Amino acid sequence: MSTEESRHVYRLHSTLELPLEDLHDHIDEATYPDGVSDVEITRRNNTLILKAVAEDETVSKYTPTAQLKASVTENRVYEEDPDERHNSFRWDEDEEDEIESELVEFAAFKGDRETVLQNSLLQYEMFLVLCEIAEAAEKGTLTAIAEYDGELEATRIVEGEPRPADIEVVEGPRDHSSSQGGVNWRDNKFISD
């Protein structure tokens, strides 16, 4: 896996949510990036793990490949938006009709890189899988900075739609030593011996 050296995900933040059923359908129909032959889905209580299966057969079965981690939550989904129903003016109704709803399980990919994307082997490839999931999700945002062949690339997907993204350096390394800008605790007249 010589390409592993030139592909990294440095920063990642995700607030993605999508119905668990939609996620399973997406993974079943997905075309995986080079290096990944399949994605195994495992559920442990309320945690969902999507693990990359390497195409390279020389990778030991004991070598941990990259995995995506999501929490599973149950949300009530209403047929009609309850807020819109309360805002509508109705003359003839004395009692409110019950709004049709059902409990739906959602996969929530929420957190930073170490929380959502784990292990380094095939990490970039699983990041690409996460980007495809982000485009299938109707709710949430994915932002990331990754390196591919020595070039940094910014990714931003909002509510299933890829958006323009730039990398901006906000604060660089300081040229002066840290003792010049900080408090010298050893010679502080307010601290007594």
DSSP bridge partners of 14: 111, 142
Per-residue pLDDT, averaged over 18-24, amounts to: 95
Residue 90: pLDDT band by 50, 70, 90 thresholds?
low
Model pTM score: 0.77
CA distance 17 to 41: 16
Residue 28: pLDDT band by 50, 70, 90 thresholds?
very high
Which residue carries 């800008």 as its tokens? 181
123-139: per-residue pLDDT in tens? 999 999 999 999 999 89
* Residue 72 and residue 48 in contact, taking contact as beta carbons nearer than 8 Å: yes
Which residue carries 């592993």 as its tokens? 4
CA distance 181 to 174: 10
| Amino acid occupying residue 143 | T
